[in-house]
Amino acid sequence: MLPTTNPAPPFALTRASHVSLGVTDLEASRDFYRDVIGLVVTEETNDTVYFRGLEEAAHHSLVLQRSDEARAHRVGFRVRTDDDIVAAERYFSDAGIEHERVEKPYQGPTLQFTDAVGTHVELTSSMQLVERRMQNFDEFVAGAPQRIDHFQVVTHDVQTATDFWAGLGMRMAEFTAKDGTDELWGTWLEVKGNTHDLVFTNGRGPRLHHFAFTVPDATALLHAADVAGALGFGGEIDRGPGRHGISNALFLYLRDPDQHRIELFTTHYQFIDLEDQPIRWEISNPRRAQLWGLPASRRWFFEASEFPDEAVRDPLLQATPETLEEFLSIH
Amino acid sequence: MLPTTNPAPPFALTRASHVSLGVTDLEASRDFYRDVIGLVVTEETNDTVYFRGLEEAAHHSLVLQRSDEARAHRVGFRVRTDDDIVAAERYFSDAGIEHERVEKPYQGPTLQFTDAVGTHVELTSSMQLVERRMQNFDEFVAGAPQRIDHFQVVTHDVQTATDFWAGLGMRMAEFTAKDGTDELWGTWLEVKGNTHDLVFTNGRGPRLHHFAFTVPDATALLHAADVAGALGFGGEIDRGPGRHGISNALFLYLRDPDQHRIELFTTHYQFIDLEDQPIRWEISNPRRAQLWGLPASRRWFFEASEFPDEAVRDPLLQATPETLEEFLSIH
Amino acid sequence: MLPTTNPAPPFALTRASHVSLGVTDLEASRDFYRDVIGLVVTEETNDTVYFRGLEEAAHHSLVLQRSDEARAHRVGFRVRTDDDIVAAERYFSDAGIEHERVEKPYQGPTLQFTDAVGTHVELTSSMQLVERRMQNFDEFVAGAPQRIDHFQVVTHDVQTATDFWAGLGMRMAEFTAKDGTDELWGTWLEVKGNTHDLVFTNGRGPRLHHFAFTVPDATALLHAADVAGALGFGGEIDRGPGRHGISNALFLYLRDPDQHRIELFTTHYQFIDLEDQPIRWEISNPRRAQLWGLPASRRWFFEASEFPDEAVRDPLLQATPETLEEFLSIH
Amino acid sequence: MLPTTNPAPPFALTRASHVSLGVTDLEASRDFYRDVIGLVVTEETNDTVYFRGLEEAAHHSLVLQRSDEARAHRVGFRVRTDDDIVAAERYFSDAGIEHERVEKPYQGPTLQFTDAVGTHVELTSSMQLVERRMQNFDEFVAGAPQRIDHFQVVTHDVQTATDFWAGLGMRMAEFTAKDGTDELWGTWLEVKGNTHDLVFTNGRGPRLHHFAFTVPDATALLHAADVAGALGFGGEIDRGPGRHGISNALFLYLRDPDQHRIELFTTHYQFIDLEDQPIRWEISNPRRAQLWGLPASRRWFFEASEFPDEAVRDPLLQATPETLEEFLSIH
C-alpha cells in the first residue's frame, strides 16, 4: 500500500545527518575512512573519532566508537530547531514510542528513539560549526567525499517502516513492488528535496545496510576504487562501480575493517515539487537494480550491520524460490 | 546591512523554476539551446519553444518567445501549493506590490509581480508532468544539463533587493561587502537548501545577468565548450571554465544568439542547517571572483539582458576609479 | 622462457591496424558499433560496413562482413612501407609460413598469413586517407572511441606465439608466469611504444578474445556503459568497469550481437626505452587481473571468437583443479 | 617551405626525455613541482632536485638546479642505443655543429649540442631505472602528471629550426603558415608516433616557451588548477583551461616561482602512418590557437625562458601591425 506523506508533520525533519558505528580496531578504522575514503578527521579522542565530508560545516557526520562488537550504533537526522526536538519528544510520548533525551558532545539538544521496525535513530537540532574544507583542494584524498547523504536499512517489514516515516513527513521518491500489486519490497524516502534520505529494503532486519556520502563526479568514484586497490582494500568493494536504475545513482560500495558498508555515489536528482510522482519499479524488472554490468556480490545482498541488542527478525514477505533470484537484484 | 530572513514567510517559495526569454530568431535560438547546450525540447509552437533539463519532470524550465527585441521576459519560481499562490496574491496586495494573475499553458495557478528593484518575476505552484530523461543516456548532448538552478540579476540596489527576498524567506549563503563594512555589493540567496537560487550583484539594473543549469561533472562542462567550438560558438564563451571563490562553482558562461547568457556549472554545497553562517567576502579579496585563472571578459562584466519596459538605473553604490578594477572582479 | 626481441626484424611492423569480423546480422551489428560504442561509419556497402575511431585518418579499423557464421576473420597490422610488405613476403616464404598477397579495397599492398599458433593476420602498408573527426565534438557518441589499439588472442601455446612475434620485433612489456618459473601464461607484446599491440593468453585457441579501442577518459568509459544500458545492451557488459593490474588499463568489455568482444579502455603507459624491463606477475598474485572490484564473468573467461576453418586446440599448459580458480583471474 | 623528413637519419631519436632548469630558490621550486603539479621527487641533493612523472621508469624528466639566474639550461631527448650517441657525435663533427660529451649522473652516455637556432640540447641513450608509480594511486597529487611529452621553443627562424630537426628524422604533424604561402610560423614535430615532441614558434628566440607533461584526463587538469588556487598559485595560470585547434590538446599552462612555464595537457592523437599528411593552419584562422574561450594572456605570448649565454634574436618574420593581433593567437 502506498504511504501517505503527512503534510503537517509533528516536527520538522530536514536531512540525514550522522551515523555512529561501533568498531573493534579504532586505529584501523580511522585509517580506512581517512585514507581509503577521504573523510576529514574533525577530532580524535582515546575512544572516538569524529569525521566529516569536505564541504560539511557540521562537526561530524561519521562517528567511530571503540567497541567490543562491530555494530551500527545509531543513524542521525537533523530537525530544524530546538523546538522541533521538544515537539518530537511530545509526539513520541503521545505515540508510546521509546525515546530518550541524551547529552552528546558537539551536538545541540539530542533525542534518541527506536522506529517502528527497530532502527536506532537520533535527532539533533544543531552541531558545533567547523570550517568547510571544500576549497582546500590540496587536501582532497581518494573519493573526496563532500557530505553525508542517506541511510539504507534492511527491515523485516517495509510497509510498517515506510508508514512510520511518512507520518514524520518523508515522501516516497521511488519504490519496488511485487508485480501488479502495491506490496512494497523497497522504498526510497526523502525529506531534503532530492531522491532519498532513508531507504528501506525487505530482508532480515533491522540492520544498517549502508550509509552514503556524495562524491564530486564519476572520476572521484573510480579514483576511490583505485586508492582502495593501492592500499590493499580492493577486495572490500562488494558492488560497483555501477548505475542503479532506482535513483539513477552511479555507485561504489566498500566494506570497512569491521565490514560496515559505505556507499560513495553521484547523481541525485531533484524531488521538490508536490506534483512529482514516485517512480515505480516492478520486482520483475532487472533494470531497477542496475542499468548495466555485473550483479552485486552475495556479500552485498546478505550482509549488513546489526544494531546493539536489537533482535533481527525474518522478513514478513518471503522470497519464494522462483523470486529469490529476482529478490537478489532488487536492492 | 545583513538581511534578516523571515522565519515565517507569507508564502512558501521552494525553488527557481523557469525563465522566459524574448529572442529575435527563434529557430537559431532553438538550435543553440538544443545542440550547443543540450537541453531537451519539450514542445515547439509557431512562436514559442519550451525546454527542460534531462532530469526535469516539469514541462519547461526555459521558454523562448519569438520577439522583436532580445529581452529577459521573466524569471520564475515555484511555490509549494496553490494556496501559496493565493497567499502571495494577498501579501502583494497588502504590501502594495504590483502583481497579476495570468493563465500560462502547462502551468498551474500563476502570479506575476515585479520585485522591489524591478525584476520581473512569476510564481507558479505546479506544472504539467513530463518524462524525466535522465536515464536516456543515448540522448545526452553537449553539457547534458540536468536542471535549472538559479538566476543572477544585476541591480542598482543590492540591499533593497536582498531585504525584499529575505522577507519572502530566502537565506543569504554568501555575500560580498565593502571591506570592513556591511555595505552589500553582492548577495547569494537560497531557499532550496543549497548555495543559491537568486543572486543580486551591484550595477546598472535591473538586468538578468544569467540563468544557470547544473551539469553532471567537470567533463560535461568541458564537453559543452568543445561542442560550442565545433559548432561555431567558441567565441560566445565569455567566461570560464573557472572556479568561483564565492559558491565554489566550477563554471562556464555562454551567450546565446541574442546575447542572453547561460551558465553551466557544478558543485553546489548544502546549506540547510540554521546554524550555518553566510560566508563573507571582502571586495578587496580577488579570490571571491575566481580561485585561479584568467579574469572574465569585459562582456561578462558589463553586458546583461534588460526586462521589457523596465528602466535601467545607475547603481547607488558607485565604483570609484580605484575600486573599479576590484569591482570588475566581484561578480 | 622469456622471449628475445629481434633487434633487426625482417620487416617493420608499426602498429595494430584493423580487425575484420563475420557477423550474422549486419544491420544490427552496424547499429551496435555506431550507437552503443560510438565508432564512425566510413562507408557501407551491401555486405560490408567500414568503421574507424574519431581521430583515425585511416579508412577503417573495424570491418564487419555479412556472414553465415560469427567468426573473427582476421586481425590486421601495419608495416611501415610497401617494401616491408615485399620483405615480409620473402621472409614468410623462406620460413615456410603460409601467406598470400590479396587485394583489399582502400588498403595498399596487403599480405595475409597465419602465425605460428593459428592466428589469422593481415599486413598492409597504407590505407586511403579520410578526415580525422577528433574535433567534431558534436558528433561524439557513447564512449567516443578514438583509435584501435590492440588485440588479445587466446592460444594453446603462449610460448610459441610469443617467440613468433618477438622474432618480428615485438617487445614484451608485461607477462604472467607460473610462480618461480618462466612458464609463460600470458604475454603483453608491443611495437608502437606503449604497453601492448598484441596479447596472448593461455587457453583453448586460437580464438580472438577481444580487440580494443582507446576512449578519452574514465568518464567516457562510464558513459559508454550508461548508453549500453539505455539501449538495451546493459547485459552485454561481461567485465568491468575495472582496473587491470597488468597494463594498468581502466577497462570495460562489451559483447556485440554476435558475441564478438570489444574492449574500451584508457591509461596506456609509455614503453620505448630499451632499458625498460617487462613487468612480471606471478599467477598466484590476484592483483594482476584487477586491482579492485568483482571478478570477471565466466563468459569473459571462457568465450571468444574462433577464426574460420581454424581448429581450436586445448592448451598445452593445463590448469589443475587447484589452479583453475587462479587461472580464472589471470587474464 | 615544407621540410623533408630524413628517412634514414644519422642516429635514432626516440622521444623527448628531460629538461633541466636553473631556479633561484630551489626549495620553493621543489615545493611547486611536487605539491602544485604533482611530480614525484626521485632524488634531492643540496643543489639539485630530480623529478619524474608517475608512470616513468626513468630516473628523471625534470631537473632543477640551484642557480643565480632563472634559465632554461637544456632540453633532453633520448636516442635508442649507446651506438646512436656515437653516431650523433660523428654526425655533429662532420656537420660542424658544436657538441660535447659530458658525464651526467643517472644517465648513460650523454652528448650536448646546440641546434641550428641556438636551442641547448642534450641526448642520452639510457637512464637508471626506478619504480613506476602509476599504480600508487594513493600518492597521486594535483594533476597527477604521468610523463614528460614535448618542448616548445620560440625561435627567430622557424624554417631553419624545422629543417635541422627534420634532418634528424622528425616529422611535421601540424604547422601554421602565412595564408597562401609556405612561410612557416610554427611547426609541430614528432618522432615517437604522436602529435609532437618538439614545437617551434616564431618570435624572439631561442627561448624555451614551455615543457609539457601528460595528465590522465580533463578532471586532473581542473584539479591541478584547483590545487594551484588553493596553494596560492591561482594567478600563475597564464593560459587555459582551453582546447588548442592545433594538436587538439586540452591544456593548462602554469608558471613556476621563476616563471618557467609548464603545460599540463591531454589528448594526443596517433601519427605513425607514413601516408598521414601534416595538418595546415592558416595564420588567419583563429581556431588554430583555440577552439573556444578567452585568448591567452600577454604573459603567455611574450614571456619565455632564455638559455644561458645564448643571445636572443629578433624574428626574421616580423608581425606587421595588422597581423600582430593574428600573431598573438598563433601559438
The string of pLDDT tens digits covering residues A295-305 is 888 899 999 99
Mean of the pLDDT values across residues D20-34?
A: 98
pLDDT band at C330 (very low <50, low <70, confident <90, very high): very low
SS3 A92: helix
Phi, psi (degrees; rounded to nearest 5) at B163: -60, -40
Minimal Cα–Cα distance from D180 to chain B, Å?
23
A161-173 pLDDT, tens per residue? 999 999 999 999 9
Interatomic CA distance for residues A205 and A316, integer angstroms: 10
Question: Interface pTM (ipTM) of the complex?
Answer: 0.95
Residue C125's pLDDT is 98
Q: Choose the closest CB to C219 out of A219, A225, A297.
A: A219
- Cell 517489514: give the residue: A157
At residue C17's C-alpha, the angle toward residues C13 and C23, to 5°, is 140
N-terminal to C-terminal alpha carbon distance within chain B: 19
The overall average pLDDT reported for chain C is 95
B221-253 pLDDT, tens per residue? 999 999 999 999 999 999 999 999 999 999 999
Interatomic CA distance for residues A161 and A205, integer angstroms: 11
Residue A325's pLDDT is 53
pTM: 0.96
Does residue B266 carry a pLDDT above 60?
A: yes
Query: Of all helices (H) and strands (E), which one includes residue C176?
Result: strand C171-177
Q: How far is CA B216 from CA A137, B141, B219, C193, D225, in A?
A: 19, 12, 8, 35, 19
Residue of D nearest to A36 (CA): D138
Minimal Cα–Cα distance from D37 to chain A, Å?
11
Bridge pairing between strands A207-214 and A261-266: parallel
Strand order in the sheet with D120-124: D40-44, D48-52, D62-66, D13-23, D71-79, D120-124, D110-114, D99-102
* Residues in chain D closer than 8 A to C245 (CB atoms): 135
Residue B203: name the closest of B309, B118, B88, B106 by CA.
B118
Pick from A238-242, B316-320, C141-145, C221-225: least confident: B316-320
Distance of CA D84 to the CA centre of its chain: 22
Bridge pairing between strands D71-79 and A99-102: unpaired
A2, A172 Cβ separation under 8 angstroms: yes
Residue A329's pLDDT is 45
pLDDT band at C296 (very low <50, low <70, confident <90, very high): confident
Phi, psi (degrees; rounded to nearest 5) at C111: -125, 130
* Residues in chain B closer than 8 A to A218 (CB atoms): 216-217
pLDDT band at C311 (very low <50, low <70, confident <90, very high): very high
Pick from B104-108, B256-260, C233-237, D315-319: least confident: D315-319
- Cell 519464494: give the residue: A320
Interatomic CA distance for residues B24 and B138, integer angstroms: 31
* Residues in chain C closer than 8 A to A288 (CB atoms): none
Does residue D328 carry a pLDDT above 80?
A: no
Mean of the pLDDT values across residues B267-277?
A: 94
Interatomic CA distance for residues B147 and A270, integer angstroms: 8
* Cell numbers standing for residue C145: 572511441
Q: Choose the closest CB to A225 out of C233, C293, C297.
A: C293
Interatomic CA distance for residues C49 and C62, integer angstroms: 8
Residue B287's pLDDT is 85
Minimal Cα–Cα distance from B134 to chain C, Å?
10
B4-51 pLDDT, tens per residue? 999 999 999 999 999 999 999 999 999 999 999 999 999 999 999 999
Minimal Cα–Cα distance from D293 to chain B, Å?
5
* Cell numbers standing for residue A42: 574533525
Query: How would DSSP label each residue in A103-118?
Result: --TTBSSEEEEE-TT-
* Residues in chain C closer than 8 A to B138 (CB atoms): 35, 142, 227, 230-231
Whether residues D237 and B291 touch (CB distance < 8 A) is answered with no
The percentage of residues in chain A with a pLDDT greater than 90, rounded to a whole number, is: 90
Q: Which chains reach chain A with 3 or more Cβ–Cβ distances below 8 angstroms?
A: B, C, D
Residue A128's Cβ-count burial label (10 Å; 0-12, 13-18, 19+) is middle
Residue of C nearest to B217 (CA): C219
Preceding peptide of B241 cis, ω within 30°:
yes
Residue type, C156: H
Q: Choose the closest CB to B269 out of A55, A126, A245.
A: A55
Residue of B nearest to C138 (CA): B227
SS3 C3: coil
Beta strands in chain A (DSSP E): 13-23, 40-44, 48-52, 62-66, 71-79, 99-102, 110-114, 120-124, 147-155, 171-177, 184-190, 198-202, 207-214, 237-243, 250-255, 261-266, 279-282, 305-306
Whether residues C276 and D57 touch (CB distance < 8 A) is answered with yes
Whether residues A78 and B15 touch (CB distance < 8 A) is answered with no
* Residues in chain D closer than 8 A to C55 (CB atoms): 248, 269-270
Residue type, A234: G
Whether residues D129 and C277 touch (CB distance < 8 A) is answered with yes
Which residues is B122 bridged to in the sheet? B76, B112
How many residues in total does chain D contain?
331
Residue C25's Cβ-count burial label (10 Å; 0-12, 13-18, 19+) is middle
Residue D47's Cβ-count burial label (10 Å; 0-12, 13-18, 19+) is exposed
Residue B193's pLDDT is 97
More confident position, C163 or A293: C163
Whether residues C126 and D275 touch (CB distance < 8 A) is answered with yes
Does residue C319 carry a pLDDT above 80?
A: no
Mean of the pLDDT values across residues B180-188?
A: 95
N-terminal to C-terminal alpha carbon distance within chain C: 19
Minimal Cα–Cα distance from A269 to chain B, Å?
7
* Residues in chain A closer than 8 A to C233 (CB atoms): 292
The percentage of residues in chain C with a pLDDT greater than 90, rounded to a whole number, is: 90
Whether residues B229 and D297 touch (CB distance < 8 A) is answered with no
Does residue D155 carry a pLDDT above 60?
A: yes
CB hemisphere CA count around B291 (13 angstroms): 26
Q: Choose the closest CB to A225 out of C234, C237, C292.
A: C292
- Cell 601591425: give the residue: D321
Query: Of all helices (H) and strands (E), which one includes residue C29?
Result: helix C26-31
Residue D127's Cβ-count burial label (10 Å; 0-12, 13-18, 19+) is buried
A2-45 pLDDT, tens per residue? 999 999 999 999 999 999 999 999 999 999 999 999 999 999 99
**What is the tally of helices (H) and strands (E) in chain A?**
6, 18
If one counts every other C-beta atom within 10 angstroms of the C-beta of residue D169, the result is 18
Beta strands in chain B (DSSP E): 13-23, 40-44, 48-52, 62-66, 71-79, 99-102, 110-114, 120-124, 147-155, 171-177, 184-190, 198-202, 207-214, 237-243, 250-255, 261-266, 279-282, 305-306
User: Residue ranges of the alpha helices (H) in chain D?
Assistant: 26-31, 82-95, 158-166, 218-230, 298-302, 321-328
Residue D329's pLDDT is 45
Residue A323's pLDDT is 55
A112, A122 Cβ separation under 8 angstroms: yes
Q: Which residues contact C318 (CB under 8 A, 6 or more apart)?
A: none
Q: How far is CA A1 from CA A162, A263, A283, in A?
A: 10, 29, 15
Query: Of all helices (H) and strands (E), which one includes residue C19?
Result: strand C13-23
pLDDT band at C323 (very low <50, low <70, confident <90, very high): low
User: Residue ranges of the alpha helices (H) in chain B?
Assistant: 26-31, 82-95, 158-166, 218-230, 298-302, 321-328
Mean of the pLDDT values across residues C299-312?
A: 96
Q: Which chains reach chain B with 3 or more Cβ–Cβ distances below 8 angstroms?
A: A, C, D
* Residues in chain A closer than 8 A to C241 (CB atoms): 222, 241, 293
How many residues in total does chain A contain?
331
Residue of D nearest to B249 (CA): D226
Mean of the pLDDT values across residues A209-216?
A: 98
* Cell numbers standing for residue B18: 523557469
D98, D144 Cβ separation under 8 angstroms: no
Query: Of all helices (H) and strands (E), which one includes residue C89?
Result: helix C82-95
Q: How far is CA C198 from CA C89, C178, C210, C260, in A?
A: 21, 21, 10, 17
Residue of B nearest to C223 (CA): B137
Residue C41's pLDDT is 98
Does residue A331 carry a pLDDT above 50?
A: no
pLDDT band at D267 (very low <50, low <70, confident <90, very high): confident
**Chain D residues within 8 A (CB-CB) of chain A?**
35, 135-140, 142, 217, 219, 223, 226-227, 229-231
* Residues in chain D closer than 8 A to B37 (CB atoms): none
Mean of the pLDDT values across residues B102-120?
A: 98
Long-range pairs of C90-99 with CB within 8 A, sequence gap ≥ 24 = C90/C10, C91/C10, C91/C11
Interatomic CA distance for residues C212 and C221, integer angstroms: 12
Whether residues C292 and A226 touch (CB distance < 8 A) is answered with yes
* Residues in chain A closer than 8 A to B148 (CB atoms): none
Whether residues D230 and A136 touch (CB distance < 8 A) is answered with yes
Whether residues C230 and B138 touch (CB distance < 8 A) is answered with yes
